[in-house]
């Protein structure tokens, strides 16, 4: 049933794929020598005569050696077809022999030959036909048994990576999640601080949950029950996020946590009135270690390029100073911002998804003072990212999703006021407002982009500008005391004037109150002057 399978396994061994770091690429068919090694067949060279020593047959005369060679080739080809897994060129015998050697492995370090063979099977497991063969021969049970009887992290990495590839197929996840002991083994592995293994483990977590969105709700229910029952599950994930300095692991962990939270929140909501009794979502996931880990890891992934370069220099230990990047960008004609926030844009949406799920929990409101400052710091960083050239304008679907989520999270945090966040939000709003004016006037020369290249209609900019203006007004009105907003005195005069004009133009009580508070702050500034 192809529609039950998820095409997630293929990749290049970067931590988001199923390819072993020291194995062949899984996007390619294994070379012939790999298949022959699995078959215990020779290279075939023994049956081929040395052409340099054998004269060619006379014209019109058939060589006596031709027919036997053809027959041998056909026989070899038939044997290879008979040994192939389905329509692939992978050797069934090689895979089964490797599983047998794994089952016979004695406790201790992983031998080089078995490691190489397992890596090849890991590569092969991107094929659904290979996964079917592995499942038919109890590969999951064998892998779990090998993990429980060993402390070799490289063995863990390979077997969990193999399992991650297999989890792209719904049949594998069905077997895996139906066994509570196997899920518990996967949860226990989160306490092993080996980066390469943990990257593969996070892939397994993520891929299991992906199937839930395609209608396999039982997978998430089985996982939820075990996750809630296993002591410290959420704390262990938080510990990974707080302790790791690997960007690859932090990215994989955030994606896995996003998938787990989204799927488990879905099944809890849909089973609220059913006979299935699930532990309350907030008790399982609203854990301080996890919440702090999500915020801390996101800020690390959002550090600027100069900070990343400093980290690399620090790791190398050469003590070289980091020179700022001031080269002009030839593509757009502006001087490169230094430093720049460079990140995978997908990770921004991943963080916003996680944060949205957690802050909307009623239980989260009681501890909002604990989590709000860190969350606001992350939102402020996202706004800084949007203020970089080419990130905000032209306004597209991605930017709108960011702004929608930021506004929603602020509302759930009771419009928590923070100086940097307010300043960045005001800057984003002013740029949208300025773009609207340029858009209206048709003055393309005053903008970085020509209107004809801007696919977003004017109404889209107006809508998002109004949304941010309301958010800014709410932050001013909801600020607990006047001292919190004294820094508004430092706002650029031109932006202050633009902001006041916009507040006055809105015929609404909220905007009137915001204008009053802003005027009080500015009047105090004039009085002090």
CATH number for the domain spanning 285: value is 1.25.10
Same domain for 299 and 193? yes
What are the angstrom distances between the C-alpha of 497 and each of 140, 500, 503? 66, 5, 10
Q: Which residue has the tokens 């004809």?
A: 452
Q: Are 289 and 235 in contact (CB under 8 A)?
A: yes
What tokens does 1 get? 């049933």
Spatial distance between the Cα atoms of 65 and 63, rounded to a whole number of angstroms:
5
What tokens does 259 get? 């998938």
What tokens does 84 get? 């192939």
Spatial distance between the Cα atoms of 308 and 56, rounded to a whole number of angstroms:
65
Same domain for 219 and 354? yes
User: What is residue 436's predicted lDDT score, i.e. its pLDDT?
Assistant: 92
Same domain for 193 and 288? yes
Last residue of a domain, one of 168, 191, 217: 168
In a domain, 367, yes or no: no
Same domain for 435 and 502? yes
User: What is residue 60's predicted lDDT score, i.e. its pLDDT?
Assistant: 38
* Domain around 496: 397-441+457-527
For the chain, count helices (H), then strands (E): 24, 0
Same domain for 164 and 188? no
User: What is residue 455's predicted lDDT score, i.e. its pLDDT?
Assistant: 63
In a domain, 369, yes or no: no
Same domain for 136 and 215? no
Spatial distance between the Cα atoms of 93 and 339, rounded to a whole number of angstroms:
55
Last residue of a domain, one of 105, 134, 168: 168
Same domain for 418 and 500? yes
Q: What are phi and psi of 91, to 5 degrees?
A: -85, 120
In a domain, 77, yes or no: no
Same domain for 158 and 220? no
Task: Provide the number of structural domains found in the chain.
Answer: 3
In a domain, 159, yes or no: yes
Same domain for 203 and 304? yes
Q: Are 207 and 171 in contact (CB under 8 A)?
A: no
What tokens does 224 get? 């939820």
CA proximity to 484, closest of 425, 419, 409: 419
CA proximity to 20, closest of 94, 116, 103: 116
What are the angstrom distances between the C-alpha of 308 and each of 150, 249, 297? 36, 16, 14
| Burial profile 392-423: b = 16 or more Cβ within 10 angstroms, e = fewer | bbbbeeebeebbebbbbbbebbebbbbeebbb
Spatial distance between the Cα atoms of 433 and 465, rounded to a whole number of angstroms:
6
In a domain, 383, yes or no: no
Last residue of a domain, one of 121, 138, 168: 168
Q: Three-state SS across 354-423?
A: HHHHHHCCHHHHHCHHHHHHHHHHHHHHHHHHHCCCCCCCCCCHHHHHHHHHHHHHHHHCCCCCCHHHHH
Same domain for 147 and 190? no
Spatial distance between the Cα atoms of 180 and 227, rounded to a whole number of angstroms:
10
pTM attached to this predicted model: 0.80
Q: Which residues of the chain have pLDDT under 70?
A: 1-82, 108, 314-338, 440-455, 481-484, 489, 525-529
In a domain, 188, yes or no: yes
In a domain, 3, yes or no: no
Q: Which residue has the tokens 């080419």?
A: 390
Q: Is the peptide bond before 339 cis (omega within 30 degrees of 0)?
A: yes
User: What is residue 4's predicted lDDT score, i.e. its pLDDT?
Assistant: 47
User: What is residue 54's predicted lDDT score, i.e. its pLDDT?
Assistant: 38
Q: Are 122 and 165 in contact (CB under 8 A)?
A: yes
What are the angstrom distances between the C-alpha of 164 and each of 26, 156, 504? 13, 12, 57
Same domain for 155 and 122? yes
What are the angstrom distances between the C-alpha of 168 and each of 2, 3, 185, 411, 466? 11, 11, 19, 37, 43
Q: Classify residue 74 by burial, with Cβ atoms within 10 Å: 0-12, 13-18, 19+.
A: exposed
User: What is residue 469's predicted lDDT score, i.e. its pLDDT?
Assistant: 96
List the beta bridge partners of residue 328.
335
Q: Which residue has the tokens 């949208």?
A: 432
Spatial distance between the Cα atoms of 475 and 59, rounded to a whole number of angstroms:
94
In a domain, 257, yes or no: yes
Same domain for 344 and 210? yes
């Amino acid at each position: 049933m192809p529609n039950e399978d998820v095409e997630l396994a293929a990749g290049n061994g970067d931590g988001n794929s199923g390819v072993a770091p020291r194995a062949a690429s899984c996007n390619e068919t294994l070379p012939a020598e790999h298949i022959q090694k699995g078959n215990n067949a020779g290279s075939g060279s023994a049956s081929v005569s040395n052409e340099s020593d054998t004269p060619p047959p006379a014209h019109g005369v058939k060589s006596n050696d031709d027919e036997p060679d053809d027959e041998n080739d056909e026989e070899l080809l038939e044997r290879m077809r008979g040994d192939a897994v389905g329509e692939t060129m992978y050797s069934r015998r090689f895979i089964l022999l490797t599983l047998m050697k794994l089952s016979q492995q004695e406790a201790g370090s992983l031998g080089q030959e078995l490691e190489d063979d397992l890596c090849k099977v890991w590569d092969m497991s991107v094929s659904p036909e290979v996964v079917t063969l592995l499942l038919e021969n109890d590969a999951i049970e064998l892998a779990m048994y090998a993990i429980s009887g060993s402390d070799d992290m490289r063995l863990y990495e390979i077997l969990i990576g193999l399992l991650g590839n297999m989890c792209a197929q719904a049949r594998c996840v069905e077997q895996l999640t139906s066994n509570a002991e196997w899920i518990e083994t996967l949860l226990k592995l989160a306490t092993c601080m080996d980066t390469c293994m943990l990257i593969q483990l996070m892939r397994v977590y993520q891929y299991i949950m992906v199937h839930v969105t395609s209608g396999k709700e039982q997978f998430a229910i089985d996982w939820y029950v075990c996750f809630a029952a296993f002591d410290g599950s959420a704390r262990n994930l938080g510990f990974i996020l707080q302790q790791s300095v690997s960007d690859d692991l932090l990215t994989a962990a955030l994606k896995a946590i996003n998938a787990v939270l989204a799927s488990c929140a879905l099944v809890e909501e849909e089973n609220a009135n059913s006979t299935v009794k699930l532990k309350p979502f907030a008790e399982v996931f609203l854990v301080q270690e996890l919440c702090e880990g999500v915020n801390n890891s996101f800020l690390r992934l959002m550090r600027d390029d100069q900070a990343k370069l400093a980290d690399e220099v620090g790791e190398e230990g050469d003590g070289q100073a980091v020179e700022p990047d001031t080269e002009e960008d030839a593509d757009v004609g502006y001087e490169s911002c230094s430093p720049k926030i460079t990140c995978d844009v997908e990770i921004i949406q991943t963080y916003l998804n996680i944060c949205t799920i957690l802050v909307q929990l009623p239980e989260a409101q009681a501890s909002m003072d604990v989590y709000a400052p860190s969350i606001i710091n992350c939102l402020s960083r996202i706004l800084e990212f949007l203020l970089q050239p080419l990130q905000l304008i032209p306004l597209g679907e991605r930017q709108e999703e960011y702004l929608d989520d930021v506004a929603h999270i602020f509302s759930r945090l009771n419009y928590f006021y923070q100086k940097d966040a307010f300043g960045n939000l005001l800057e984003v709003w002013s740029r949208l407002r300025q773009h609207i004016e340029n858009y209206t006037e048709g003055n393309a020369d005053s903008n970085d982009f020509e209107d004809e290249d801007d696919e977003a209609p004017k109404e889209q900019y107006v809508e998002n500008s109004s949304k941010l203006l309301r958010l800014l007004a709410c932050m001013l009105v909801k600020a607990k005391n006047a001292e919190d907003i004294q820094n508004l005195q430092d706002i650029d005069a031109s932006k202050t004037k633009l902001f006041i004009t916009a507040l006055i133009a809105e015929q609404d009580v909220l905007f009137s109150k915001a204008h009053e508070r802003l005027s009080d702050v500015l009047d105090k500034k004039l009085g002090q002057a």
